[in-house]
Structure 1
């Protein structure tokens, strides 16, 4: 992967209004050359609007978009050094695969022999060197995805935009294509900007991820940053699975807080974001895999938080499976993830268990920051 000093894409104070609605609200970010950058967020958060502005299909209300250090404001889409893969691939059924890939080159007036060379190179890079004469309807869904990318990449864009291209695929193929897309990005050594509402896609493929909510970026970071060190309650709740409690802060010490839920549970966690005050409401988020589970408290290794409950469900999910525990004091369900080969194998529905975790494993935010 090539990482040059000049970013391939820079968006500065980017804003887009539709009447009184700010679809994108003063967003700034940079995408290093040769990287895989994802914008992750729920439907309607503004991520597609950002991509359409980068592509040139929408003009920003204010702000700037630069590619390789040069502003592309007021540059029409066909003159920008970007290309785009849509969810619906729009391959031409009347053309064979080589003709599909070479279509843009023909529009540029390139010679036949040079087109043949470039198309052949693109087919090699997507791992399908022998399908040039085949028709579109003879390909699998995954092969069509790779051809759509090759059709864009043969034009040598500085940035490839991908608008939820896996959304129409079945689950098995979508999982396979996550790995394929990352490999293709490395093969072409081109900057990919990818938008999705599917967190697993973003976490698996991306060098950097921007989590978007209501027109703004909540956090930009690596998958590990977002998962283990979320900056906001929205990121903690949106990225990955998490157990959640709300309570009043009763003690603050060295970044750790103690909080009490309305049902009387006392829990300890690590505060993030707004400086808290005694009595303030806080939300605690805890990943299911951070919880230790044991038949008695001695097996929890001195956990700072200890709860008890009864196993109500055992959800087999391959190597890492889920247990639902009905907490004794509140009756709330707590999700725990355990390796299939460990304690999960000896558990049964109705077993009494104890759950424990350290304060450093729970992320807490002032209530209302979600």
Structure 2
């Protein structure tokens, strides 16, 4: 099946600087695809090239199988929602949504019908005559999407559209955006530096760094099986230790950390050798807590430590544990029920985790 969007060897240079460096990807029809990366990595440059606001230095962009390199922005089957929604304050909601249809010369009756239809689909029927400043932030967000979707684009581009919203509204809009995408069955391409937005909403995520894609996969693949050190460190919270590999047996390896701890990790198919400097990444929720070492039998890595901080965040609460042998604090997920739910600063705990949970990469990679 022909993807709705395909970029082939897409490159954009500004002088000698490569903002986008030979990026290729395809987005299946009707899917939610996110480009996730830090500021300045090139994700907005990709979106501007897809929209037609910027020409690639080389490469090709195809919408539903056809190259659009010579097609001006207003003729591409693409529309865009910006972080600052750019709704017209002097127009009511129906006029805002119908603006693009009027530019196409559609009749007033047909515009009214289409506006009513799209307002119904975004869950805001009957607000046609209201002004923009009478709407909440979430309602404005949906109206901005409706203004794009009424034009029936093949691809909707979303440039960090939740960035200007407060935290609680942003959390709600993540769920609503995913529901809207499914309701319209339109391909969404979403760019963000916020990993939570990408992980919650996306069918596929491309993690971008310094103009190139590090990895493309599902949220689960990026989180549990990162392919590069950058992805391991950028996506989700993680503990990181660096040192030198002392032993390798199959995918299992032993790494002597810089403060002298011997730690078991896994190469997961990466080409690592004895003597290499390497880094191990372990997720906080992969670490088990206990009151005694005997409860951690079978774990490759075990140690005793003291709780130095409680990072309370509801279901995502963590504690920082300082190992008795010294070294950096270790971030550990705090159980939400049972005897450890009331853990406090100063408590002594035993912690342990499986070596298979430790993703190991060459030190310095990423």
Cα distance between partner residues in 2 of 1:169 and 1:120: 26
SS of residue matched to 1:310: strand
2:23 pairs, out of 13, 20, 27, with 27
Cα distance between partner residues in 2 of 1:274 and 1:369: 12
Give the 5 Å matches for 1:241-256: 241-256=237-252
2:200 pairs, out of 197, 201, 204, with 204
2:283 corresponding residue in structure 1? 287
Cα distance between partner residues in 2 of 1:210 and 1:140: 31
8 Å CA contact retained: 1:7, 1:30: yes
Deviation for aligned residue 1:272:
4.1
1:213 pairs, out of 209, 214, 217, with 209
The answer as to 2:307 corresponding to 1:316 is: no
Cα distance between partner residues in 2 of 1:132 and 1:265: 65
SS of residue matched to 1:339: coil
2:130 corresponding residue in structure 1? 134
Q: Which runs of 5+ in 1 are unaligned?
A: none
TM-score scaled to structure 2, two decimals? Answer: 0.98
The answer as to 2:11 corresponding to 1:15 is: yes
Give the 5 Å matches for 1:289-368: 289-368=285-364
Deviation for aligned residue 1:274:
4.2
8 Å CA contact retained: 1:40, 1:197: yes
The answer as to 2:50 corresponding to 1:54 is: yes
Give the 5 Å matches for 1:35-46: 35-46=31-42
8 Å CA contact retained: 1:86, 1:164: yes
The worse-fitting range, judged by mean Cα deviation, of 277-286 and 267-276 is: 267-276
Give the 5 Å matches for 1:205-284: 205-272=201-268, 274-284=270-280
SS of residue matched to 2:317: strand
8 Å CA contact retained: 1:272, 1:365: no
1:98 pairs, out of 73, 79, 94, with 94
Give the 5 Å matches for 1:107-122: 107-122=103-118
SS of residue matched to 2:45: helix
1:84 pairs, out of 67, 80, 83, with 80
SS of residue matched to 1:152: helix
Deviation for aligned residue 1:254:
1.2
Cα distance between partner residues in 1 of 2:118 and 2:127: 11
1:169-220 per-position Cα deviation (integer Å, ceiling 9, x unaligned): 0000000000010001011110000000000000000000000000000000
Cα distance between partner residues in 2 of 1:342 and 1:315: 18
8 Å CA contact retained: 1:35, 1:191: yes
1:64 corresponding residue in structure 2? 60
Q: Compute the RMSD of aligned alpha carbons.
A: 1.0
Moved over 6 A (4+): none
Deviation for aligned residue 1:277:
1.1
